[in-house]
Amino acid sequence: MASETFSVPNISCGHCVASIKNELGELDGVKAVEGSPEDKQITVKWEPPATLDKIKETLIEINYPAA
């Protein structure tokens, strides 16, 4: 299983983290999404068919692009 921590400057509150969890959680292969509004970071764990590129694309689509 792959894991990556992303810096997401647009995160300002717990609702932002919840939105990201909901959207990324819908991707096939995403197993876990954890986030911290204080650190402005999220950590995603996934396996195929999810890919790093698809996760990054989804973050852009939902207006939380990774830095």
What residues contact residue 19 under an 8 Å CB cut-off, 6+ apart? 62, 64
Q: What is the mean pLDDT of each run of 10 residues along the chain (67 residues)?
A: 97 96 97 97 98 98 96
Q: Could you say which DSSP state residue 18 is in? A: H
Query: Cα 44 vs. chain centroid, distance in angstroms?
Result: 6
What residues contact residue 30 under an 8 Å CB cut-off, 6+ apart? 24, 44, 45, 46, 50, 55
What pLDDT is recorded for position 66? 97
| Topology adopted by domain 2-61 | Alpha-Beta Plaits (3.30.70)
What pLDDT is recorded for position 17? 97
What pLDDT is recorded for position 45? 98
What pLDDT is recorded for position 22? 97
